């Protein structure tokens, strides 16, 4: 575009959450009438950055210029006054209201509330860009794609000229994505600027005019889509290989411990979340799982742990002690335990699933073992010893064992959780994002613990997001994308680029 | 659009407070009560021209003036405490049981039914166990119905338990017309007034002693149950995080049903104490709103049965004292309600200041 002044210009934006750097010195330009893709790995700060433009957060440092004017955006309302609207990943709609009611909600206009008149102006917008929407339909009876349409219309109705879409295609079927892209092109034709956050390289190539890449909170540059290719973008996204000094021993005594065959499952909305996943986790190795967040990692682990209903498939566990094979499919966590399966699970949501925030360390350590014995009463003696042992061995920083875990820092919370899970000498240990939010030292403590378990013959399934860590720690890495396995690679020989490409490969493509 | 300088903070900002030392907490609470007393004194002076000191003397007089009043005070505390103990496991599980009223009424109705139908045929020592079983069972059923629907269909327990109250009230209203004695009085009257069949014995000649002892024992049991039993532990886990409960293999449905069975049964027990241990009659107002006050007692005590003895006592103390003020100074009944209201407002209000810090704008310091 020939326009001189960019729609949005960010200069030196920084945002910190406590010690964690979300964005550092980010410079970004959004031209008028272009579609800009923001690309980056999980946790590279894309959403945080966009939230600052949309008024959800305020930058700690740096400047935002809208149409060349310095702007201070303190709330979504401020953002609207600059004609900026954001469509969030999690929709912010009121279920019991109709589409039209949601769209006009919160707009202060003089005169009487006249839904009929408003509906007409909404319809004009819809016709202009080709949205198909039933304005009287209640949100709760809508599909995800319909809800998304409502969100977009809502933003347009407020007169937005700059639209930010946070992973809009993550929840859509391919056909719905095509429709969305048509609408986006129509909006662009009308002179609107659109920013789209996405992980999917093929979509980036298809829809955007320009791509800006973020890595670890910093902008690493932007390229015109027509001048680039997926390989180059992947390289920009993942960056150079970082050498980590994580000890990795050769796997010993590998036996097939956990065999997953043709696993399929759907989420509550009925969308397919895991399709035909097949793999075998062996004893004495760390089996990594890489993928964009929300590609089915959580559901996969929860299926194995007995927390997720399956459509089809088998989960077979080879008991090393009895030599028997058990099928864990659709069993409750209790039934799995009664089969004598020694399965431990460190879930992603530490305080929401793995631990109880308001309980102290002893009571949290007791979660796995409190049922022991026939007495109706609890025995806190062994859990207390174990809690003290975990505090000592893993160097948990806490006043005492009677401190509620929610008062501990993230790393210490994780140490308590991992400590408890490995205390039962598991044969299979599943960990999801075990070092997320942890500092370097705590991270290495966790890596060492995992390696100890590996050398002790446990089969470890490690879901991670940092590719450097996955490559340095794991023995094999399975990559999933959109609930499908796109490849299983040898961690010793693979490259970040290879994994990055597999991560963004949407289903149906040839390997 | 006019955009003021960055970091324009609102005048008053609330932020969550870390736990404060318990002595400080106690101080805030006592201060809250004192403020409440002061404000209600001011109110009394302004509205009635009475001497507030005299008024508050009569408050104590209403509670401790005569041995009868003291016994009444403890009896009422015991009943309120009993219902509070009953709702506690449910609340600890984050099951919003506002149906204690109905569960108490069902227990009371079951007790009255046993007394009326078996009073003249069954020996006293057999009758009372039957009454106990019947009242516990009636309350339990009333508690388990909403629990069942919550566990299997995820219905909203607040609405459900609330509506069960109305059903219970109607059932009792029906029973009253059915059991009416004497005819045309529209009340049941004192059941078995002549034979005293099914009445709790007067221990050492004291009518309410049995009730009080039962509740004291129950308090201790509940304390141990919640803190040291596996059931109590499961209740806490389910209440704090259902996800964690499922992850660890707790059968959440079972825990909900079991806990509400217990909660309902103990409400039924309160009904038994109300009919067999004190009133010897049943009416639609037998529970008298205690099912709701109990929720307050339980939350104020943060579900600690030992502390509940204090909170229930405090509430009954102010209620009875305020009632005495109304009679002594020939004031309208509402005066008592207003005084209790003001003081309760301050007691609950102090909990707010225990949990939140109030920050004013001029203290301009960003905390990361």
**DSSP of A172-240, one letter per residue?**
--HHHHHHHHHHHHHHHHTT-EEEEEE--HHHHHHH-SEEEEEETTEEEEEEEGGG--HHHHHHHHH-S
Q: Is residue B194 part of a domain?
A: yes
Residue contact A355–B244, C-beta within 8 A: yes
What residue in B sits closest to A305 (Cα-Cα)?
A: B247
Q: Where are the beta strands (DSSP E) in A4-60?
A: 8-17, 20-30, 35-39
**Identity of the residue in A16, A71, A78 whose CB atom sits nearest the CB atom of B368:** A16
Q: Is residue B186 part of a domain?
A: yes
* Burial degree of A188 (CB within 10 A; 0-12, 13-18, 19+): middle
Residue contact A367–B230, C-beta within 8 A: no
Query: Which residues of chain B are at the A interface, by a Cβ-Cβ cutoff of 8 Å?
Result: 1, 3, 6-8, 228-231, 233, 236-237, 240-241, 243-244, 246-249, 251, 368
Least confident residue range of B38-42, B113-117, B127-131:
B38-42
Contacts of B154 in chain A (CB under 8 A): none
Contact A41, A215 (CB under 8 A): yes
For chain A positions 326-345, those within 8 Å of chain B (CB to CB) are: 332-334, 336-337, 345
**Identity of the residue in A82, A334, A358 whose CB atom sits nearest the CB atom of B249:** A334
* Min Cα separation B231/chain A (Å): 8
The CATH class that applies to domain A253-342+425-511 reads alpha beta
Residue B13: pLDDT band (50, 70, 90) is: low
**Identity of the residue in B3, B240, B251 whose CB atom sits nearest the CB atom of A357:** B240
A325-327, strands of its sheet edge to edge: A272-282, A256-266, A312-318, A325-327
* Min Cα separation A48/chain B (Å): 16
Interatomic CA distance for residues B115 and B191, integer angstroms? 7
Q: What are phi and psi of A262, to 5 degrees?
A: 50, 50
For chain A positions 81-110, those within 8 Å of chain B (CB to CB) are: 81-82
What residue in B sits closest to A355 (Cα-Cα)?
A: B244
Q: Is residue B50 part of a domain?
A: no
> How far apart, in Å, are the Cα atoms of A417 and each of A23, A138, A363, A470, B240?
29, 42, 12, 21, 17
| pLDDT tens per residue across span B234-286 | 999 999 999 999 999 899 999 999 999 999 999 999 999 999 988 888 988 88
Is pLDDT above 90 for B174? yes
Q: Does A357 touch chain B (CB under 8 A)?
A: yes
Interatomic CA distance for residues A78 and B59, integer angstroms? 56
Contacts of A306 in chain B (CB under 8 A): 249
User: Given the DSSP bridges, would you call strands A210-215 and A272-282 parallel, antiparallel or unpaired?
Assistant: unpaired
Interatomic CA distance for residues A175 and B55, integer angstroms? 77
Interatomic CA distance for residues A298 and B360, integer angstroms? 43
For residue B16, the surrounding DSSP H or E stretch is strand B12-16
Contact A282, A254 (CB under 8 A): yes
User: Given the DSSP bridges, would you call strands A193-198 and A162-166 parallel, antiparallel or unpaired?
Assistant: parallel
Residue contact A58–B6, C-beta within 8 A: yes
- ipTM, 2 dp: 0.79
Contacts of A345 in chain B (CB under 8 A): 247
> How far apart, in Å, are the Cα atoms of A492 and each of A334, A468, B133?
37, 12, 70
pLDDT at residue A368 in the model: 87
What residue in B sits closest to A82 (Cα-Cα)?
A: B1
| pLDDT tens per residue across span B79-101 | 999 999 999 999 999 999 999 99
Q: Does A378 touch chain B (CB under 8 A)?
A: yes
Q: Is residue B341 part of a domain?
A: no
B128: left (phi over 0), alpha (psi -120 to 50) or beta: alpha
What residue in B sits closest to A379 (Cα-Cα)?
A: B228
b/e burial code for range B23-59 (CB count within 10 A of at least 16 → b): eeeeebbeebbebbbeebbeebeeeeebebeebbebb
Q: Does A21 touch chain B (CB under 8 A)?
A: no
Residue B9: pLDDT band (50, 70, 90) is: low
Per-residue pLDDT of chain A (511 residues; tens, 9 = 90+): 445 688 899 999 988 877 678 888 899 999 988 999 998 876 778 888 988 998 888 888 888 998 888 888 888 888 888 899 999 888 888 889 988 888 888 777 767 777 888 888 889 888 888 888 888 888 888 888 888 889 999 988 888 899 999 888 877 777 788 888 998 998 899 889 999 988 777 788 888 999 999 888 888 888 888 888 888 888 888 777 666 777 888 888 888 899 999 999 887 767 788 889 999 999 999 999 998 877 888 889 999 998 888 888 889 998 888 888 888 888 888 888 888 888 899 998 888 889 998 899 999 999 988 888 888 888 888 899 999 999 988 888 888 888 888 888 778 888 899 999 998 889 999 999 888 777 777 888 889 899 999 999 899 999 988 888 898 899 999 999 888 898 899 988 988 888 888 887 754 443 3
* Min Cα separation A294/chain B (Å): 18
**Identity of the residue in A356, A370, A376 whose CB atom sits nearest the CB atom of B240:** A356
Peptide bond into A220 cis (omega under 30): no
Q: Is the dihedral of CA A465, A467, A469, A472 positive or negative?
A: positive
Interatomic CA distance for residues B241 and B159, integer angstroms? 22
Residue range(s) of every CATH 3.40.50.300 domain in chain A: 8-238, 253-342+425-511
pLDDT at residue B231 in the model: 94
What residue in A sits closest to B237 (Cα-Cα)?
A: A356
| pLDDT tens per residue across span B180-237 | 877 777 788 888 877 888 888 787 877 888 899 999 999 999 999 999 999 999 999 9
* Min Cα separation B355/chain A (Å): 15
Residue contact A359–B3, C-beta within 8 A: no
Contacts of A78 in chain B (CB under 8 A): 1, 3
Residue contact B228–A366, C-beta within 8 A: no
How many A-B residue pairs are in contact by the CB < 8 A criterion? Answer: 74
**Identity of the residue in A78, A305, A353 whose CB atom sits nearest the CB atom of B244:** A353
**Identity of the residue in A71, A354, A377 whose CB atom sits nearest the CB atom of B230:** A377
**Identity of the residue in B7, B230, B368 whose CB atom sits nearest the CB atom of A370:** B230
Contact A18, A6 (CB under 8 A): no
**Identity of the residue in A354, A371, A375 whose CB atom sits nearest the CB atom of B244:** A354
Interatomic CA distance for residues A276 and B295, integer angstroms? 51
Q: Which residues contact A355 (CB under 8 A, 6 or more apart)?
A: A364, A367, A405, A413, A416, A417, B244
**Identity of the residue in A81, A355, A367 whose CB atom sits nearest the CB atom of B1:** A81
What residue in A sits closest to B231 (Cα-Cα)?
A: A376
Domain count, chain B: 1
Interatomic CA distance for residues A85 and A90, integer angstroms? 14
pLDDT at residue B91 in the model: 94
The architecture that CATH gives domain A8-238 is 3-Layer(aba) Sandwich (3.40)
A35-39, strands of its sheet edge to edge: A84-87, A162-166, A193-198, A35-39, A210-215, A218-224
Q: Is residue B146 part of a domain?
A: yes
For the record, the structure tokens of A493 come out as: 């020989």
| pLDDT tens per residue across span B310-331 | 999 988 988 888 888 878 877 7
Pick among B20, B226, B230 to test the A interface (most A CBs inside 10 A):
B230
Q: Is residue B347 part of a domain?
A: no
Residue contact B231–A376, C-beta within 8 A: yes
pLDDT at residue B19 in the model: 66
* Min Cα separation B228/chain A (Å): 6
Interatomic CA distance for residues A434 and A288, integer angstroms? 12
Contacts of B3 in chain A (CB under 8 A): 71-72, 74, 78
Mean pLDDT score across all residues of chain B: 86
* Min Cα separation B103/chain A (Å): 27
Residue contact A356–B244, C-beta within 8 A: yes
Is pLDDT above 80 for B2? no
Interatomic CA distance for residues B53 and A264, integer angstroms? 75
For the record, the structure tokens of A426 come out as: 């598991």
What residue in A sits closest to B226 (Cα-Cα)?
A: A377
Q: Is residue B358 part of a domain?
A: no
**Identity of the residue in B231, B246, B368 whose CB atom sits nearest the CB atom of A307:** B246
Q: Does A62 touch chain B (CB under 8 A)?
A: no
pLDDT at residue B3 in the model: 43
**For a pLDDT cut of 70, what percent of chain B falls above it?**
92
Domain carrying residue B137? 77-301
pLDDT at residue A340 in the model: 83
> What count of other Cβ atoms lies within 10 Å of the Cβ of residue B276?
25
Interatomic CA distance for residues A506 and B262, integer angstroms? 53
Residue contact A376–B3, C-beta within 8 A: no
The 3-class secondary structure across B263-291, one letter per residue, is: HHHHHHHHHHHHHHHHHCCCCCCCCCCHH
> How far apart, in Å, are the Cα atoms of A17 and each of A219, A278, B365?
18, 39, 16
Q: Is residue B286 part of a domain?
A: yes
For residue B198, the surrounding DSSP H or E stretch is none
């Amino acid at each position: 575009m020939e326009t001189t002044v960019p729609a949005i210009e960010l200069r030196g934006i920084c945002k910190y959450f406590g010690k964690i750097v979300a964005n550092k010195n980010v410079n970004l330009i959004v031209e008028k009438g272009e579609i800009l893709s923001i690309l980056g790995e999980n946790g590279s700060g894309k959403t945080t950055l966009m939230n600052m433009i949309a008024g959800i957060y305020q930058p700690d440092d740096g400047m935002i210029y809208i149409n060349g004017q310095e702007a201070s955006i303190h709330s979504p309302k401020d953002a609207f006054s600059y004609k900026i609207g954001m469509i969030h990943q999690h929709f912010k709609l009121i279920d019991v209201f109709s589409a039209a009611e949601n769209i006009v909600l919160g707009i202060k206009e003089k005169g009487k509330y006249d839904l009929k008149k408003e509906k007409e102006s909404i319809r004009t917008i819809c016709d202009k860009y080709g949205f198909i929407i039933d304005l009287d339909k209640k949100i709760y009876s809508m599909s995800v794609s319909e809800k998304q349409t409502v969100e977009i219309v809502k933003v347009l109705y407020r007169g937005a000229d700059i639209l930010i879409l946070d992973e809009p295609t993550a929840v859509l079927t391919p056909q719905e994505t095509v429709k969305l892209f048509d609408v986006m092109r129509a909006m662009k034709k009308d002179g609107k600027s659109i920013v789209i956050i996405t992980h999917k390289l093929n979509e980036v190539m298809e829809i955007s005019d320009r791509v800006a890449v973020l890595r670890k909170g910093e902008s690493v540059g932007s390229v015109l889509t027509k001048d680039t290719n997926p390989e180059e973008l992947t390289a920009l996204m993942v960056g150079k290989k970082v050498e980590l000094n994580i000890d990795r021993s050769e796997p010993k005594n590998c036996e097939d411990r956990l065999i997953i065959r043709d696993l399929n499952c759907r989420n509550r909305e009925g969308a397919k979340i895991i399709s035909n996943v097949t793999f075998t986790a062996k004893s004495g190795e760390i089996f990594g799982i890489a993928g964009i967040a929300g590609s089915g990692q959580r559901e996969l682990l929860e299926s194995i742990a007995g927390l997720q209903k399956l459509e089809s498939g088998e989960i077979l566990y080879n008991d090393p002690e009895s030599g028997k094979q058990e099928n864990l499919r659709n069993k409750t966590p209790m039934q799995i335990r009664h089969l004598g399966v020694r399965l431990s699970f460190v879930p992603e949501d530490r305080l929401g699933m793995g631990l109880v925030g308001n309980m102290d360390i002893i009571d949290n350590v007791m979660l796995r073992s409190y049922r022991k014995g026939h007495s109706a009463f609890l025995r806190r003696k062994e859990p207390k010893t174990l809690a003290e042992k975990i505090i000592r061995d893993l160097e948990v920083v806490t006043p005492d064992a009677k401190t509620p875990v929610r008062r501990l820092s993230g790393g210490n919370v994780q140490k308590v959780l991992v400590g408890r899970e490995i205390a039962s000498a598991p044969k299979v240990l599943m960990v999801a994002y075990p070092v997320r939010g942890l500092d370097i030292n705590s991270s290495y403590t966790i890596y060492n613990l995992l390696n100890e378990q590996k050398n002790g013959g446990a089969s470890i399934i490690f879901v991670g997001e940092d590719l450097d860590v996955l490559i340095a720690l794991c023995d094999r890495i399975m990559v999933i994308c959109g609930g499908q396995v796109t490849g299983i690679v040898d961690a010793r020989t693979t490259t970040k680029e290879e994994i990055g490409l597999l991560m963004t490969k949407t289903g149906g493509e040839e390997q | 659009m006019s955009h003021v300088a960055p970091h324009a903070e609102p005048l008053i900002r609330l932020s969550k407070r870390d736990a404060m030392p318990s002595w400080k907490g106690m101080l805030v609470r006592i201060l809250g009560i004192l403020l409440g007393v002061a404000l209600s004194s001011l109110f009394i002076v302004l509205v009635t021209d009475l001497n507030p000191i005299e008024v508050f003397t009569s408050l104590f007089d209403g509670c401790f003036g005569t041995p009868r009043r003291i016994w009444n005070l403890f009896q009422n505390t015991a009943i309120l405490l009993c219902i509070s103990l009953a709702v506690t496991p449910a609340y600890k599980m984050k099951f919003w049981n506002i149906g204690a009223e109905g569960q108490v009424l069902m227990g009371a109705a079951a007790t009255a039914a046993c007394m009326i139908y078996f009073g003249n045929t069954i020996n006293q020592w057999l009758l009372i166990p039957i009454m106990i079983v019947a009242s516990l069972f009636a309350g339990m059923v009333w508690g388990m119905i909403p629990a069942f629907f919550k566990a299997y269909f995820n219905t909203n327990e607040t609405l459900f338990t609330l509506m069960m109250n109305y059903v219970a009230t109607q059932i009792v209203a029906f029973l009253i017309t059915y059991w009416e004695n004497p005819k045309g009085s529209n009340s049941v009257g004192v059941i078995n007034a002549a034979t005293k069949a099914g009445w709790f014995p007067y221990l050492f000649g004291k009518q309410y002693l049995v009730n009080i002892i039962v509740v004291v024992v129950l308090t201790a049991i509940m304390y141990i149950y919640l803190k040291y039993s596996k059931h109590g532990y499961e209740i806490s886990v389910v209440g704090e995080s259902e996800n964690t409960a499922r992850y660890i293999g707790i059968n959440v449905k079972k825990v909900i049903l079991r806990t509400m069975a217990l909660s309902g049964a103990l409400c039924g027990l309160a009904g038994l104490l109300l009919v067999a241990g004190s009133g010897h009659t049943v009416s639609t107002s037998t529970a008298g709103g205690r099912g709701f006050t109990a929720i307050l007692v339980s939350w104020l005590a943060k579900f600690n049965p030992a502390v509940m003895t204090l909170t229930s006592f405090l509430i009954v103390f102010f209620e009875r004292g305020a009632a005495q003020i109304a009679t002594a100074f020939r004031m309208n009944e509402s005066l008592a309600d207003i005084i209790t209201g003001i003081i309760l407002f301050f007691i609950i209000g102090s909990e707010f200041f225990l949990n939140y810090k109030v920050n004013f704008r001029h203290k301009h310091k960003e905390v990361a």
